[in-house]
Amino acid sequence: MKDDSFEKIGPYKIQSHLGKGGMGSVYRANHIDTGKLVAVKLLHTTRSSLLRSLRREIKTLQMLQHPGIVKIFEHGVHQGLPWYSMELIQGEPLSRYAYRLLQPSNSTTIDTISEHRNTEFGNLTTASMHKGFGSRSTQNLEE
């Protein structure tokens, strides 16, 4: 779904709207000169305290390199609103994945995970009793 109010943000041509959150909207975009595909986040606020926080976050993220942390490329201001471009991660949105996971067809998987966690806790309690902690530690857990 294309948001027609933004054809371009900074040096990026907007392709589509990916999502919206409490702080801003995220768009799929291409760099006009290089064609590089990225995600561009445009914030909906100009509150100075949030802008300071965002600047710190951008600077910190630009310094970090880890497979679990999205890369930040550029940042700027568009029509008075801050934006930044970042690595576009292809895949299923977390909300859709969570919805799929909680469907009745997956209840066996969820029950198995719950049983495994309960068994591990039970083993931990049993092991602690064998090491001399006795029933007092079990009572503390139940209180």
- Tens of pLDDT, residue by residue over 57-82, are 888 888 888 888 889 999 998 988 89
Q: What are phi and psi of 66, to 5 degrees?
A: -155, 140
Q: Reply yes or no on whether the pLDDT at 42 is more than 70.
A: yes
What gap in Å lies between CA 141 and CA 125, rounded to an integer?
9
Q: What are phi and psi of 34, to 5 degrees?
A: -100, -20
- For the segment 108-133, the average pLDDT, to the nearest whole number, is 42
Residue 135 is predicted with a pLDDT of 36
Identify any residues that bridge with 13 across adjacent strands, giving them in sequence order.
8, 30
What gap in Å lies between CA 139 and CA 77, rounded to an integer?
58
* Average pLDDT value over all residues in the chain: 74
Q: Reply yes or no on whether the pLDDT at 29 is more than 90.
A: yes
Task: State the pLDDT confidence band at 4, using cuts at 50, 70 and 90.
Answer: very low
Q: Percent of the chain beyond pLDDT 90?
A: 30
What's the burial of 117, exposed, middle or buried (CB within 10 Å: 0-12/13-18/19+)? exposed
Residue 122 is predicted with a pLDDT of 39
Task: State the pLDDT confidence band at 8, using cuts at 50, 70 and 90.
Answer: very high
